[in-house]
Amino acid sequence: MLLVGSLRETQNVSWFESNSEILPPILKNNMKEIPILYSTPMVKALLAGRKTNTRRVINPQPIIDHDSGFVFDGRYKKQYSIHNWQDKFIDDFSRWMPEDLLWSRESWSPKYVKGCLDEYKIHYPGIHPWIYKASDETAYPHAYAAHGWKPSIHMPKEASRIWQQVTNIKVERIADISEEDCIKEGVQSIDWTTGGKRYKDYLTDSSGYGHPDHDFPTLTTAKESFRSLWQKINGKPKPTKDGYIIYPFDEAAAKEIPSHGGAGVGHVWKNKPLTIITNPLVWCIEFKILSTTGKP
């Protein structure tokens, strides 16, 4: 229990003061509790213990200028030597740092009538007042009809059940991800009786794996699987204040964009400007799971 709970929120301040000599300095002063969004497949990977990495696009993208030998942050006009820029960039701009706590936001639904949470807790003490699409969709089919599954962005902190602690932050291009890190991203796999391990094709298969004798789409490597997952999440244009933006995994994925049609062609989506950032730089967040049943 030493690595959980924010000093700004805990009511047990005297315990922290009396044990301050055994706490890392970052826990004494700077540890934050930060919300983080996950899709339903990735929530399932967290619950199964497969996922200990996540990657998020850096926005705005750093500008790497090989001619000048500098990297520019893209917003505040800071510059770094091209040879050792990542660590300084992380210190200046990363929202997440080692020891920070992440509380997961996922698709959810309340068991109570809107505005009656306190009353629910009184009448049903000890019974969790929320259900979650990733694990409860089959058990509570009425929930969708009654309330609808709420978008993860609207999940209150009190309802979050999956808490993680950041262990490392790094910066890399998404296509440079290693096979090992793809596995740590939580891609689903299956062991064939013959032919070894195969990995899920998220672009083609939306229903998960069936019986081993059935024919369902799989890929040879975890990296191919992660690429399909990235494309499913980030391979569609998303609205911005000026138009749309898209982050294809690699050049091959960029050429598959319907309105793009190849380099320098068709940078328009729904009659608005389309920004295409191929193989973007991403924050690589490594973490350990502290709890899947609420704040530890």
Task: Give residue 143's pLDDT band: very low, low, confident or very high (50, 70, 90).
Answer: low
CA 287 to chain centre: 11
pLDDT recorded at residue 194: 63
pLDDT at 11 over 70: no
CB 123 within 8 A of CB 184: no
What does the pLDDT look like over 233-276, one tens digit per residue? 998 899 999 899 999 999 999 988 875 444 444 578 888 889 99
Which amino acid would we find at residue 19? N
pLDDT recorded at residue 191: 79
pLDDT at 117 over 90: no
pLDDT recorded at residue 112: 67
Q: What percent of the chain stands above pLDDT 70? A: 74
Return d(Cα 69, Cα 80) in angstroms, integer: 9
pLDDT recorded at residue 253: 93
Region of residue 222 (phi > 0: left; psi between -120 and 50: alpha; otherwise: beta): alpha
Fold classified for 32-107+151-291: 2.30.130
User: What integer best gives the mean pLDDT of the chain?
Assistant: 81
Return d(Cα 234, Cα 248) in angstroms, integer: 7
Mean local confidence (pLDDT), 81-103: 94
What does the pLDDT look like over 270-289, one tens digit per residue? 888 899 999 999 999 999 99
Strands (E), the chain: 33-37, 53-57, 63-65, 70-72, 79-81, 101-105, 108-110, 130-132, 163-173, 189-191, 197-200, 218-219, 238-239, 244-246, 268-269, 272-276, 281-291
Task: Give residue 146's pLDDT band: very low, low, confident or very high (50, 70, 90).
Answer: low
Per this entry, what is the length of the chain?
296
Provide CB contacts within 8 A for 112, sequence distance 6+: 119, 120, 129
For residue 147, which phi and psi values (nearest 5 degrees)? -120, -25
pLDDT recorded at residue 263: 43
Return d(Cα 221, Cα 197) in angstroms, integer: 8
CB 274 within 8 A of CB 259: yes
Q: With 0-12 CB in 10 A as exposed, 13-18 as middle and 19+ as buried, what is 69?
A: exposed
What does the pLDDT look like over 158-209, one tens digit per residue? 999 999 999 999 999 999 999 999 999 999 888 776 667 889 888 886 554 4
Where do the domains of the chain lie?
32-107+151-291, 108-150
- Give the angle 64-70-75 at the CA atoms, nearest 5°: 65
Return d(Cα 201, Cα 209) in angstroms, integer: 10
Mean local confidence (pLDDT), 119-146: 71
Provide CB contacts within 8 A for 76, sequence distance 6+: none
Q: With 0-12 CB in 10 A as exposed, 13-18 as middle and 19+ as buried, what is 61?
A: middle
pLDDT at 126 over 70: no
